[in-house]
């Protein structure tokens, strides 16, 4: 029996048996199962991408295998996913986050040198292992920990969305492209490709059509305190923000992004996935979603379903409960913004004097949604302008993006719009 075959069998079946043992022993709760599902999704995306970069940087390389995926033996890839996505989450129950990471790090350091010729290590392989731990194992375990504890909905929604987009837009198309990830990395890393006007034009279009999906993830985490994943859904019906203009913002963005990507890189897998996404959304997902939401929200969901189109945008938002925008008339910047909103006669938005707010003292212009979620400063303005019409809403979805909103807020504060208590 060849050494390579034995190593591949152990690499696959040992993690599977270990994970099965922990599952049978610990009987994971529903939230732990959700955490495992999301950790597995993260590892499936991150391990493929990180191992591609590791080979590109010559930290290690993989030997030839009868069954390979993303430039590595399928047995190692699947076993690694099970070990870091299932077993690691359950080990964490006993050892905590740090303990589980230390155990898996020591396990890798001891066994990776023994896997030659299936895995051939380079001079800087320990650096590569550290990178995998920091950007692969750690985020996946944090994601699982947050799901189990039901905390940090924004971060867990962001991580699982990055993983899902990576799988659908990068990894699945790679399978049908005939290229390896390393070849694609080399091709897109060339200066001529990066600065070509067609590439930047394509990136701009993709960002525009993908913006509703980003806005949907933000709305799910902020208003619904959940994620787009069925295992970890929002805790209330989300019909605000982008959902007041279209019922399926994520599916809309996914279809157009995949279709445009397929046409741009001439990849039939992307085009096929775009069509499959529509079929799935209108078939299985629509049926299961309707059954679930009717049982949870009744008439409110039925009304929303009638007023919000699934595959096109309304020009004006769906009529829903009132949100509030508070501003200080004695603040020159805030008063101008508040007066402008009053002139817009925005539907479902009540513009009020900050002194009328019954809670703690407000130091910035503040938006309070129908769920009680409070946003301040640039975030408040971004939320409020989504009540006007589709054009302003698109701008709101853009400026509420986490990094961009912080940059704009810093710029405004520097120009005199700092919180009242700081003045």
Q: Domains in the chain, start-ordered, CATH in brackets?
A: 1-151 (no CATH), 154-314 (1.20.120.1630), 323-422 (no CATH)
What rounded mean pLDDT belongs to the chain? 86
Interacting residues of 292 by C-beta distance below 8 A, sequence separation 6+: none
Most confident option among 7-16, 169-178, 348-357: 7-16
**Four-residue CA torsion sign, 375, 376, 379, 383:** positive
User: Is the predicted pLDDT of residue 180 greater than 80, yes or no?
Assistant: no
The pLDDT of 363-367, averaged and rounded, is 86
Contact assessment for residue 45 and residue 169, using Cβ atoms and an 8 Å cutoff? no
**Cβ partners under 8 Å of residue 352, min gap 6:** 324, 325, 326, 327
Which pLDDT value is given to residue 191? 47
Tell whether the torsion through CA atoms of 114, 117, 121 and 126 is positive or negative: negative
Does the structure show a pLDDT above 70 at 43?
yes
Query: What percent of the chain is modeled with pLDDT above 90?
Result: 39
What is the per-residue pLDDT for 381?
A: 92
Q: What is the pLDDT of residues 7-28, one digit of tens each?
A: 888 999 999 999 999 999 889 9
C-alpha separations of 293 from 145, 246, 248 in Å: 27, 16, 14
Residue 281: predicted pLDDT: 83
Task: Give the other-Cβ count within 10 Å of 410's Cβ.
Answer: 12
How far apart, in whole angstroms, are the C-alpha atoms of residue 285 and residue 293? 12
pLDDT of residue 185: 57
Would you state the pLDDT for residue 315?
A: 92
**What is the chain's percent helix, strand, coil content, to nearest 5?**
70, 5, 25
- The per-residue pLDDT for range 321-333, each reduced to its tens digit, is 688 898 887 777 7
- The reported pLDDT for the residue numbered 313 is 94
């Amino acid at each position: 029996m060849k050494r390579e075959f034995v190593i591949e069998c152990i690499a696959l079946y040992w993690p599977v048996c270990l994970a099965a043992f922990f599952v049978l022993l610990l009987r994971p709760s529903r939230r732990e199962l959700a955490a495992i599902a999301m950790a597995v999704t993260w590892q499936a995306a991150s391990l493929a991408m990180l191992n591609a970069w590791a080979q590109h940087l010559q930290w290690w390389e993989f030997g030839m295998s009868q069954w390979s995926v993303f430039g590595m033996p399928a047995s190692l890839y699947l076993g690694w996913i099970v070990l870091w996505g299932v077993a690691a989450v359950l080990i964490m129950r006993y050892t905590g986050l740090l303990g589980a990471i230390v155990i898996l790090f020591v396990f890798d350091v001891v066994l990776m040198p023994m896997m030659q010729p299936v895995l051939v290590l380079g001079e800087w392989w320990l650096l590569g292992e550290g990178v995998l731990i920091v950007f692969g194992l750690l985020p996946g375990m944090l994601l699982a920990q947050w799901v189990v504890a039901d905390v940090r909905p924004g971060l867990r929604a962001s991580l699982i969305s990055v993983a899902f987009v990576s799988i659908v837009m990068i990894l699945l198309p790679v399978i049908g492209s005939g290229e390896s990830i390393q070849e694609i990395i080399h091709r897109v890393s060339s200066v001529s490709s990066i600065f070509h006007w067609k590439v930047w034009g394509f990136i701009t279009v993709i960002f525009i059509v993908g913006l509703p999906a980003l806005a949907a993830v933000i709305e799910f985490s902020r208003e619904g305190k959940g994620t787009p994943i069925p295992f970890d859904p929002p805790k209330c019906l989300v019909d605000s923000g982008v959902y007041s203009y279209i019922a399926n913002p994520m599916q809309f963005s996914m279809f157009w992004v995949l279709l445009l990507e397929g046409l741009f890189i001439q990849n039939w897998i992307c085009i096929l996935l775009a069509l499959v996404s529509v079929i799935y959304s209108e078939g299985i997902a629509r049926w299961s979603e309707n059954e679930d939401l009717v049982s949870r929200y009744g008439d409110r969901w039925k009304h929303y379903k009638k007023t919000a189109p699934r595959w096109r945008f309304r020009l004006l938002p769906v009529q829903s409960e009132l949100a509030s925008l508070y501003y200080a008339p004695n603040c020159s910047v805030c008063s101008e913004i508040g007066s402008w909103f009053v002139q817009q006669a925005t539907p479902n938005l009540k513009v009020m004097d900050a002194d009328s707010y019954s809670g703690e003292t407000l130091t910035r212009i503040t938006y309070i949604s129908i769920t009680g979620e409070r946003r301040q400063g640039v975030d408040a303005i971004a939320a409020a302008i989504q009540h006007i019409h589709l054009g302003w809403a698109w701008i709101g979805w853009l400026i509420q993006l986490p990094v961009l909103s912080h940059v704009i807020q810093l710029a405004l504060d520097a120009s005199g719009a700092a919180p009242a208590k700081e003045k």
